[in-house]
Structure 1
Amino acid sequence: MEPLSDTDPSMPFQSLTSSLRSGPLAAYSLYIVGSALLASNPVVGRAAAHVVPPIGLAFWRWLIAFLIVLPFALSGLLAHRHRLREEWRRYLLLGVLGQGISGAIVYYGLERTSATNASLIYATSPAMILALAAVWLGDAIRPRQILGILLAMAGVLVILTRGDLEALRHLSFNVGDLLVLTGAVSWSVYTILLRQSGTPLPVVTAFAANALAGVLVLAPFYAWETVAVRPVPFSASTILSIVAVALFASVLALLAYQKTIAMMGAARASTALYVSPLWAALASWLLLAEPLQGFHLMGVLLVLPGVMLATLPARKPRAQAASEAA
């Protein structure tokens, strides 16, 4: 009788599944999913805008997101509790910028503008961050990046004016667009402050701390909105909307983005921010019946190439790249 082979017949299958989980196909699939998750916030926010009050939507979004990640972040929160206690004022400021203005104010804007406009305006955040870092922190900036920033800002101007230059003469802009632009600027300042934080906390720990700070900042405004304006109508559809922005646009978007960075590198993964407005425009057209207009196309042709020019890193000389690879 012939001896049995030592080769496990399942090994080729295991090798295949391993390559699918970690190979280019998995990386680009996660890239596509992650960019779509980033696009879900303006779409769901616009869909819920006239049903769920803006502050209530932001408050419950971040409270649920915090509760989702708490089991994974609890050990880190306890381990870093002394540092968190010492820097509580800074975290409250981050909550004002990241969850308050960039959350509730944007939802106010989505009551008055389209999800497509909001996603295109928000897509300029990386270029704004670069410009703020140059002015605020003294970061070096190259001519290509300056051109990219100018193109992205020109795209925002096209969206604000709806492609009508007469609006500039009369300073006639959509209030919703201006509120979303305020949120994008606030997010850029929030990101710069995070960069200045010194030794960073673990990702999940930082996410939980920022989410909790946002909940604490929003809580008194949510109480006021509930009494003075209108409460959140807790129905099946509103609960689904709140859970959707908490789970998809907050927790899963972060996890997908972090995993994409690990699989593709930060430079290529960051381009997901440029793809998400295209997903938002498609979803808004299909789900919200928002028309795609000529100024949207002009905005895309200015904003996305502008942000890419501004933020994509310069190519390294071949000798340096080969040395680093070695």
Structure 2
Amino acid sequence: MQTYTSLQWARTAIWFIPLLWAVNYYVARQAPGVVEPYTLATVRWGLAGALLTVAARTELWAQRRHIAAVWHQYVVLGFCGMVVCGAWVYVGAQSTGAVNIALIYAASPVLIAVGSVLWLRERMRGPQVLGVAIALAGVLHVIVKGRWTALSEVRFVAGDLWIVAAMVAWAVYALLQKVWPSPMGPTARLAAICWGAMPVLLLGTAWEMVQPQTPPLTPHAWALGITAALVPGIAAYWTYGWAQKMLGASKVAVTLYLGPLYGALVAWLLLGERLGWFHLQAALLILPGVYLVSRPAPPSPG
């Protein structure tokens, strides 16, 4: 039985998930010219999968028949979560900025929340619906840089379209984890998903390696891959999967609205991208919205 303490930890942890993922925006923007997208994703998820497998080796062995019986689920989850939301993000980052990546990803909770209601039959209370609306207003405020008359001027570049595909894939990834419940814990399940992604990632890496313009794997490239594996890889995905089991898909997904704020902070501090007052204004909408969606339901009378 879930304890209130566990739920409290989950509600606290979800505020840090977008910060862990924001590190990936930095890695993605540093990668062009250093390491190719599929190669970077292979290093990231290969290392993450190896570490997770060691940590969950007993459970993985005990669940080997389950894994063999539903192997296709892990391939699909791996494709959505590690190929599209991994390699394709790195492809997109070659032509779009870290803040754009964060902004587009922030739309994922809309798809997840709608999918949770229509597909998973989850219920959203009035305050949660209000929270989604307020947080979405904050995201739009960031997109238009505080100038609401600029909505018609929003333009996507090629990189943005890759990130849109990743945003959709992330919503599918989050929902499928609920549609396909697993007897395994978060660590073992994430390890299995990592290995499910490896066939496509390795094929992509092999293709990149035979291209004449592909740079060699330098210490800088390995450092980017290891950072991506440990922070936005193991830490972020494990926390997301665990919190989703505790709180539900739509409640955890809304924390992705924090992505533009954390992503902008990383872009400003580490990438030299400029911040504006509209980011602070957006925070005053996004943070209360996240609170409304993630707060516990009041106890039923009687």
Alpha carbons of 1:163 and 1:185: their partners in 2 closer, same or farther (altered >3 Å)?
Answer: farther
Q: Given the alignment, which residue of 86, 96, 110 partners 1:103? A: 86
1:193 is matched with 176
Which letter maps to 1:85? A
Per-residue deviation at 1:270?
8.0
Per-residue deviation at 1:33?
6.7
More moved, 69-78 vs 155-164:
155-164
Q: Given the alignment, which residue of 260, 283, 290 partners 2:273? A: 290
Which structure would you say has the larger Rg?
1
| Match runs of 1:85-164 below 5 Å | 85-157=68-140
Per-residue deviation at 1:212?
0.8
1:220 maps onto 2:195 in alignment? no
- Superposed CA deviations along residues 209-268 of structure 1, whole A, max 9, x for unmatched, are 00111122222122222224743531111111110000121123355668889999x999
Which letter maps to 2:199? L
Alpha carbons of 1:110 and 1:293: their partners in 2 closer, same or farther (altered >3 Å)?
Answer: farther
Question: SS of 2:210's equivalent?
Answer: helix
Q: Given the alignment, which residue of 46, 54, 63 partners 2:46? A: 63
1:243 is matched with 226
More moved, 111-120 vs 249-258:
249-258
1:177 is matched with 160
1:316 maps onto 2:302 in alignment? no
1:80 is matched with 63
More moved, 32-41 vs 44-53:
32-41
**Rounded Cα–Cα distance in structure 2 between residues aligned with 1:134 and 1:30:** 23
**Rounded Cα–Cα distance in structure 1 between residues aligned with 2:14 and 2:76:** 31
TM-score (norm 2): 0.79
**Rounded Cα–Cα distance in structure 2 between residues aligned with 1:139 and 1:261:** 13
CA contact (8 A) 2:46 2:194 kept: yes
Per-residue deviation at 1:206?
0.2
Which letter maps to 2:297? R
1:42 is matched with 25
**Rounded Cα–Cα distance in structure 1 between residues aligned with 2:204 and 2:210:** 10
CA contact (8 A) 1:128 1:149 kept: no
Count of matched residue positions in the alignment of Structure 1 and Structure 2 = 295
- Superposed CA deviations along residues 281-321 of structure 1, whole A, max 9, x for unmatched, are 22221111111135545654555544444x3245314856x
**Rounded Cα–Cα distance in structure 2 between residues aligned with 1:260 and 1:146:** 20
> Structure 1 regions of 5+ residues with no counterpart?
1-21, 321-326
Q: Determine what percentage of the aligned residue pairs are the same residue.
A: 34
Question: RMSD between aligned alpha carbons?
Answer: 3.9
**Rounded Cα–Cα distance in structure 2 between residues aligned with 1:258 and 1:88:** 19
**Rounded Cα–Cα distance in structure 2 between residues aligned with 1:185 and 1:299:** 23
**Rounded Cα–Cα distance in structure 1 between residues aligned with 2:227 and 2:280:** 28
**Rounded Cα–Cα distance in structure 2 between residues aligned with 1:306 and 1:292:** 22
Which letter maps to 1:130? A
**Rounded Cα–Cα distance in structure 1 between residues aligned with 2:260 and 2:136:** 16
CA contact (8 A) 1:120 1:300 kept: no
**Rounded Cα–Cα distance in structure 1 between residues aligned with 2:36 and 2:130:** 39
**Rounded Cα–Cα distance in structure 2 between residues aligned with 1:78 and 1:116:** 41
**Rounded Cα–Cα distance in structure 2 between residues aligned with 1:245 and 1:112:** 19
CA contact (8 A) 1:156 1:299 kept: yes
Per-residue deviation at 1:34?
6.0
> Structure 2 regions of 5+ residues with no counterpart?
none
Which letter maps to 2:196? A
- Superposed CA deviations along residues 24-51 of structure 1, whole A, max 9, x for unmatched, are xx99998887664332111222222343
CA contact (8 A) 2:255 2:290 kept: no
- Superposed CA deviations along residues 92-132 of structure 1, whole A, max 9, x for unmatched, are 11111111111112222222222233224324433431111
Alpha carbons of 1:161 and 1:51: their partners in 2 closer, same or farther (altered >3 Å)?
Answer: farther
Per-residue deviation at 1:171?
7.0
1:252 is matched with 235
Q: Given the alignment, which residue of 209, 233, 239 partners 2:192? A: 209
Per-residue deviation at 1:205?
1.0
